[in-house]
């Protein structure tokens, strides 16, 4: 058994974790962002960056049909077609422009 109490060594030793840019996601009106998060993910407590993809918020234990259900939900609520690999910020931009 590995003892993690002393920290992890190896490939992560000396490396820093850096949050991806949020410049584009910060430019989305908060009302639009919160409505999207609540409507699609049933919460508004989500950390999103400019590099967040829709699939980052999908359950990998589900089959492809269930994972694609989020895309169907976006199509139903917003009339926007998307794929699990799409950037969330791009989907939000398309919603705003519609």
Range of the domain at 69: 14-97
* Segment 16-63, tens digit of pLDDT: 778 899 999 999 999 999 999 999 988 888 899 999 999 888 876 555
CA–CA–CA angle 43, 74, 96 (5° rounding): 90
In a domain, 4, yes or no: no
The pLDDT, as a whole number, for residue 64 is: 58
Beta strands in 3-95 (DSSP E): none
More confident residue, 28 or 4: 28
Domain count, the chain: 1
Whole-angstrom Cα distance, residue 65 to residue 67?
A: 6
Whole-angstrom Cα distance, residue 91 to residue 98?
A: 11
In a domain, 75, yes or no: yes
The pLDDT, as a whole number, for residue 94 is: 97
pTM: 0.78
Dig out the tokens for 11 from the structure. 């490939």
More confident residue, 68 or 91: 91
The pLDDT, as a whole number, for residue 41 is: 87
In a domain, 29, yes or no: yes
In a domain, 8, yes or no: no
Helix (H, G, I), strand (E, B) or coil at 82: coil
In a domain, 85, yes or no: yes
């Amino acid at each position: 058994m590995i003892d993690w109490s002393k920290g992890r060594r190896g490939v992560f030793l000396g490396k820093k974790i850096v949050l991806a840019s949020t410049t584009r996601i910060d430019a989305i009106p908060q009302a639009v962002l919160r409505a999207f998060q609540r409507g699609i993910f049933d919460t508004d407590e989500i950390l999103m960056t400019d590099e967040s993809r829709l699939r980052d918020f999908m359950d990998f234990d589900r089959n492809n049909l269930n994972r694609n259900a989020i895309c169907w939900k976006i199509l139903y609520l917003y009339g926007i077609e998307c794929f699990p690999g799409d950037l969330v910020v791009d989907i939000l931009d398309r919603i705003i422009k519609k």
